[in-house]
Structures are given as C-alpha cells and as structure tokens.
Structure 1
Amino acid sequence: MGSGSSKVGGGRGKGKDSYLQEELKEHEGSINCLVLSEDCSLIVTGSDDATARMWSALTEPPECLGVLRGHQGRVTSATMGGTYVFTGGIDTTIRKWDMCTSECLYTYKGHMQQINRLLCSGDFVISTSYDKTTRVWLMEADDAMSVDEVCLRVLEGHQRAVYPVVFIPGKDTGGLNEEGLRINPGDLLITGSMDTTARSWSLDMGMCLKVFRQHTGAVTCMDTDEAGRFLYTGSHDCQVIIWNIIAGRSLKILDGHKDAITCLKVVNRLMYTGSADSTVKCWVREYGDCTRTYKQSNAEASVVCVSFHGGIVFVGYTDCTAKAFDAKSSSLKREFRGHTDAVNHLVVTAGRLYTTSSDGAMRVWDASGMSDQITATRQDNSDLRDLDRELELELDQYLDDNTGDLLGN
C-alpha cells in the first residue's frame, strides 16, 4: 500500500517546516495512539476515523503496511505482542490483528465502556477502561474458546475510570500456576484511576493488594523503577508522589509543578515529568530533588508527552509544536513546527522523530545531529535508560554532595 505521504521542508532553517521530512495524512481524524514495536521496525497509529494503521519504520518515506478496519468508532489505544497488533476503542471492544495480513483474528468483548489503555505481557493482554475495571485476557484467544477461557481476570475496586497501568514481573518460577497459566506468584499489576488512587493487584490471585491513597486529583500517569520497588504517580493535583510498592506507603511528595501532571517517565536514576504548566522537570529519584526545568516560551501551552532518547528530552505540546532539549544543560536544541493541533504522542528511532496530532497527521522529522546517541537504530528499554556518561558523572557528584534518606534504598 502506498503511504500517501508528502515530502515537505527538510531544511535546517528556522521556518515552519524546519527538519520536516514527511507528512502522512492518511487518517481522517485525530490520532489518539502511537506505538513503536520492540524491534523498532513497525509503528501503529489509531484514530478517531475508526481505523488503525501499520507503518514501516524502516522505509523512507514510512510505508503504510495495512489498514485495520473493524472498530465501530474511534480507536483509543494500541499495543503489540508477538506477531499481533491489539487495538481498543470507544466501542468497548479489543481487536487482535495479524501483522502480516491485517486480518482481525479475534474480538475481545466484556468491557462495558471505552478502552483506555492496553499493554501486552507474556501470554496476556491487559486493558483498562472507563467502566472502572481492568481485565486480563489470553493473547492466544480464538473463536473456539469460551468467554471465561479468554477473560482470565476482572479486577474491580476503583470507583471511577481506570487509565494508566503498569506490569511488574515477579521472580520467574519457570512453571504454571494452579490454573495452568504462566503467571508467577509475584507478578503485579498497578493501575491508576480518576478516583485519585492507584492500586496494586496480584495477577496470580486476581485480588487487590494495596491501595495508594494520598492524591486529591485523578492519577494521570505513573512509572516504576527498574527493580519494581518504587512507584511514581502523577496527578491532576499538581503533585508527583513516590511510593514503596510492597508497603503501599508514600515516601515523598514532589511539589514543583504548578498545574496538573500530564506525563511521567523514569530513566535510570532520574525521572522526567511534564505538566499543564508548560514545563518538564528532571528529578533525582533517590532524593526527590528537581535538578533541571525545561521551559518553552509559550507559557499557555501544556505538555502532552515526553520521551528521553540519547541524552535528549523530546516534548510534545498543545500549541502544535514538539521540542528537543539537551538533557544535561536544559538548552533548547531543536523545535519542530508544522502541526495544526496538539501533538499527542511522539517516538524516536534511527535518527527520526515521529509525532502524531489531533490534526490527523503523522509527521516525520530529522532528529539526528543533536547527540552521538541519537542515531542509534534501536530504541528499546535499555536505550531509554542509558544516559550520557557526562550526565552520569554529574549526577554521581550531585549525590556525593547531598545527604539525606535514600527512600529506603
């Protein structure tokens, strides 16, 4: 299939289309999700036009490899697992698609309202919904199976819509549980909700273990450290809270933002948070101290999304722009202008920045030349945790010069 793209700009000047390589306008409505495959070869977008599209991240321009049609209304979320793409929509269903043929292989039914988030882990697909529940589904589902065989867990307890979800794997026992499922006793799910709480759940037992109560606004985003010991939650109450996951106890409240927290990303010993106050802040996780603030000139523009790649912090804003900041100096390295509505999502791979927007377009930008690491051909989890050595040395010096509790480390 052709990409329907247009070659625009591509220069390195200061004009509207600076650094723009391609504009892909095949969607006919706002793009609500953007995901990059683990091997960085495939991009999936989902839209208000009731379709999802698969794009090659290895071709120039990105080629549209398939259009996923079947949802009755806007596609709200997407994820990938194995050779499958999974999409969720306002029609309350989750669909499983074959990456090679674009065929819908199965439709998961059970949620009563729109799907908010999806993730894949091992043999399972995990979904959160506006219906206040989280569900765990068998990835290898087919029409010969009963509903009870496909939907393995329904996690109920939140009082309002559930949005962010994180999976924390337990120690691998190498065996099956009593139900014959590949679930380890220590496997945890953590969910965040509009009801101002987060909850941890035993995937094995399907029960709530802890309720994280201290926020006064909706929990909008969250992440954990690599070891799965600490939880970091961002909220509409302008606060970020650090929690001990096992104890369910808050350890520190970070008060630096002046408006709702919209996104949050843990990178090694640092954490980046974005806010409706137009700023992104960098925190030392062990101390909860803010070391840098990445600002832009338009104080009315909210931060929508943030990503770290190769020593560069990429940020998408409601004012139609994306920006790249040097992680160490916080200086603005590059500005990406051209969208006509908010930048909702972004990913970086192989020296290219992909942005999607409420304007229905995906744009591809030149993101090379800002850092020695930015031309890496893969953007897996280890890439996201790799900081510049110079930044690591500066952080070590910061920690040496400060004293205080290490939050139980």
Structure 2
Amino acid sequence: MDIETVERYGNKRVHHRGGPSQAAPDRTNNKVCFHWRAGRCNRIHCPYLHGELPQPSDGATFHPQGLVWRNSNASSNPGSTSRWGKGHRGAVSGMSRPHRKVQDKICNYFIGGTCSYGENCRFLHSWFVSESISLLTPLKGHQKGVTGFALPAGSDKLYTGSKDESVRLWDCQTGQCAGVINLGGEIGCMIGEGPWVFVGIPDAVKAWNTQNSTDLSLSGPTGQVYAMAVGNEMLFAGIQDGRILAWKFIAVGNRFEPAASLSGHLLAVVSLVVGAMRLYSASMDHTIRVWDICTLQCIQILTDHTSVVTSVLCWDQFLISCSLDSTVKVWVATDSGNLEVTYTHNEEKGVVALCGMHDAQNKPVLFSSCNDNTVRLYDLPSFSERGRIYSKQDIRAIQAGPGGLFFTGDETGEIKVWKWLNEVPAVPSA
C-alpha cells in the first residue's frame, strides 16, 4: 500500500501562529520539527522541516503476516503489581523519558468538517496529538461502524468488517478496496487466527480459510455474535443471549465441531479474551466471568464494575478491563488464584474498547477508546498519557499490524492507518 502522509487528512499543523514567515528557512538538516508535529512551533525561521519526510520504499507498504501482538502471550512485562499507576507520572523505571501532558487543543469544527478558518484557525487541525505516531492514510468505503479487523497469515489483504453488513478486502500494495463480501446481516465482530478469518453475524459465525478457500458457516448462536476468541484449539463466540459457544477445530477435514455452550451471563457477552489457560468474558450484565479453558467451568465472577463491561485484555499476568462506568481496572491473581483489582484508572467518559501493543521502542502502550470520540494512549505500567487520537465518532475497533503499523475504525465506517515513529524527541531540561 502506498501510504503517504497527506496533509488534507489532518497531519498538517498550524505552525505560523505568529504571522506569515518573512523568508523560507534553510532546512538543510532534513529533520522534521517535533514542535511542528505537536502543533506548537512558533519560530518564524525554524531550522527544521515543517512537513513529513517522504516514506522510504520499504516503509511504503504493509504486508500482513498474522497478528504481531497477541493477548495470550505478550512478551514484555509491564511491571510488578505495586507499580501499576504508581510513581511520578511518566518517570517510570524502564521508560527513558517522561511524556508531557497532552493538551486538548484540537479544533472540534475541523473534526466535524465545518471549520471555516482553515490555516488561520487558532486550534489544531489534526486527527491526533502525539509525538509517537503519524497518520498515514484513511481507507474509506464502509457506510457504518467498523467492528473488526483480520490480517490472515500468508495473505496480502487486510479484512475489515462493518455494521453495514459487508466485509471489505483491502489490497496491501495499493490501499484500494479489492473486494466486498455482503453477508446479509450486521457484522458484530471479526478476528483472524493464522490463515482463518472469523466473522460474527446474527445467528451464525462465518469461517474462511484464506489459504485453501474453505468457507464454513457455524450454526448455534441465537441473536448477534458480539465477540470471539481462539484458544486451546477452540473457537469461542459471545452471543447476544448471554451464552458463550465453543467449537473444536478438527484438522482432519479442516472443520469445526460444536464443543460446548457456556451459560451464566444474564445479558449479551460483548468481549472475550484467552490468556494463561483461562477464558475471560465481559458482559452487559456488568460482570466478568473467568472460565477454565480445559474444563470449560466458570471458576470466578468479577463484579467490581458498575456498568457494562465493554472490553477485556490480557497482558502477561494481568487482566485489564474497561467499562461504561468510566474506569479501566487492572486485575492480578492473589495467592489463592482469584483475581483482585490492583489499580483503577478513571476516565472522564465511559470506555468502549481497549487494545494493547508495543511502540517503536518496544514499550507497552494501552489504547483506551472513550465514548467522547477520543482514544487515549497510555504508557504502561504508569498510565502516563502520551497522546490522543480523535475521530468523528467512537472508535470501537483497534488492531496492531506488522512493521509498526496499526489500524483504527470508527462508527462512521472510516478506517485509518497509523504508524509508530521510530524517532522520539528528548524532553529539554528545565
């Protein structure tokens, strides 16, 4: 995919706040001004570039090779339980520099597409505020909210699912839509595992093997399928009626057979994750259930959230959950084996989705998507904020990709391709 930094999509910052430049500076050092990237450079003759460098040829395309970051076996250790959210904000051991607090100076009219001031606007015209990421390109085509991504192994296509009842295939060389599959039902979720793509729709799960063209329809769900996860050679699906259905993969015949129906939740199951031989399920009934993945028995019910639990995430020995009660909770197992909350992070608004990945320096970062159309980026384990992503509507789908790329999809149907920056500026001494 030729993914260039295009100014009309929001990467341009308003950098001549003090008036027009008298003369073009001699920017012979070929470095981009980090203050310009952050939208606050006011030097008339800035010695650095006020524009992104052209993408190198080897960074101009992305080739999906399967998931880079997996919930169940993340390799880095965010820290001991005593360090979650503790200490000086941003000055955490193992993190080389503190991050400045993010100031919300984005033009809301720009986000809504109605700002008439253009470059004369005193607020930032940008889709993000961060020194760690850059926006590469949008992918437009879906007409309703994006609900999932899949990067099947061995394929040169990115798969996206939407509430508009379609799956779109995007060519990784050109960024163009290479195909549309209409399923005749709203897509509640989508995941990829190896060469497989799984799509949750009302009353069924579609399973496609992108290497041998196997096309299966797994029956059993009653109502919308909202969440899926894979573990222990099984596919799990969270259903609108509160059940979790499990299918066992049978290598001979390349098929799936029904294995179990897990009951207990009173309302829809909206998030699933597998980690440390446990299945964790989050529900609209305000609870998280912990299931033994071998016996498929519920071994604990977590009731600390006071509203819909929208997402669960495993990172090493930690479980991270979020809710419409405006909290993100970090759970850790006690000596008895039961999970307890070790840290609670409060947001101003309800949290609708979580995603974890590593930045270009291999530092763990948590994405917390809130229902105020923003995504907060937090360093772990400090929960020090290092950036924000803005969108027209809530972002409910976030996916890490290869080569420092990641993807977001919002409720308008727009997908954005992002990239972690390799070069991070040092904070000037006081």
Q: Note whether the superposition's TM-score is higher than 0.5.
A: yes
Q: Is 2:145–2:410's contact at 8 Å kept on the other side of the alignment?
A: no
Return the letter of the residue paired with 1:166.
Answer: A
Give the deviation of 1:136 after TM superposition. 1.4
TM-aligned CA distance change 1:320 to 1:120, over 3 Å:
closer
Partners of 1:311 and 1:79 lie apart in 2 by 22
Q: Which has the larger radius of gyration?
A: 2
Question: Greater CA deviation, 116-125 or 208-217?
Answer: 116-125
Return the letter of the residue paired with 1:84.
Answer: K
TM-aligned CA distance change 1:260 to 1:74, over 3 Å:
closer
Return the letter of the residue paired with 2:150.
Answer: T
Partners of 2:377 and 2:144 lie apart in 1 by 34
* SS of equivalent to 2:173: coil
Q: From the two aligned structures, give the one with the greater strand fraction.
A: 1
Q: Deviations over 1:175-211 (max 9, x none)?
A: xxxxxxxxxxxx3111111110111101225322111
Q: Is 1:124–1:136's contact at 8 Å kept on the other side of the alignment?
A: yes
Correspondence 1:136-151 to 2 at 5 A: 136-140=207-211, 150-151=214-215
Unaligned stretches of 5+ in structure 1?
24-34, 42-58, 142-148, 171-186, 373-409
Return the letter of the residue paired with 1:115.
Answer: I
Q: Is 2:145–2:163's contact at 8 Å kept on the other side of the alignment?
A: yes
Residue 287 of structure 2 aligns with which residue? 239
- Tell me how many residue pairs correspond in the alignment: 306
2:158 aligned to which of 68, 71, 85: 85
Residue 318 of structure 1 aligns with which residue? 371
Q: Deviations over 1:261-280 (max 9, x none)?
A: 01110011101000000000
Correspondence 1:125-136 to 2 at 5 A: 125-129=197-201, 131-136=202-207
Q: Is 1:311–1:371's contact at 8 Å kept on the other side of the alignment?
A: no
Q: Deviations over 1:347-395 (max 9, x none)?
A: 67999997654475859798999999xxxxxxxxxxxxxxxxxxxxxxx
Partners of 1:123 and 1:107 lie apart in 2 by 19
Residue 292 of structure 1 aligns with which residue? 343
TM-aligned CA distance change 1:370 to 1:260, over 3 Å:
farther
Residue 167 of structure 2 aligns with which residue? 94
Q: Is 1:89–1:114's contact at 8 Å kept on the other side of the alignment?
A: yes
User: Taking every aligned residue pair, what percent have the same amino acid on both sides?
Assistant: 20
Q: What do you get for the CA RMSD once the two structures are aligned?
A: 4.3
Residue 193 of structure 1 aligns with which residue? 239
Return the letter of the residue paired with 2:354.
Answer: V
TM-score, normalised with respect to structure 2? 0.58
Residue 273 of structure 2 aligns with which residue? 223
Return the letter of the residue paired with 2:371.
Answer: T
Q: Is 1:22–1:365's contact at 8 Å kept on the other side of the alignment?
A: no
Give the deviation of 1:306 after TM superposition. 2.0
Give the deviation of 1:76 after TM superposition. 4.5
Give the deviation of 1:245 after TM superposition. 2.0
TM-score, normalised with respect to structure 1? 0.61
Residue 206 of structure 1 aligns with which residue? 256
Residue 336 of structure 1 aligns with which residue? 388
Q: Deviations over 1:213-264 (max 9, x none)?
A: 11111101010115xx210000011111100123221000111111000111
Q: Is 1:17–1:337's contact at 8 Å kept on the other side of the alignment?
A: no
TM-aligned CA distance change 1:258 to 1:367, over 3 Å:
farther
Unaligned stretches of 5+ in structure 2?
16-32, 42-49, 53-61, 69-131
Q: Deviations over 1:55-74 (max 9, x none)?
A: xxxx995444x9575x7876
Return the letter of the residue paired with 1:78.
Answer: F
Structure with the larger RCO, 1 or 2 (CA within 8 Å, 6+ apart)? 2
Return the letter of the residue paired with 1:8.
Answer: R
Residue 164 of structure 1 aligns with which residue? 227
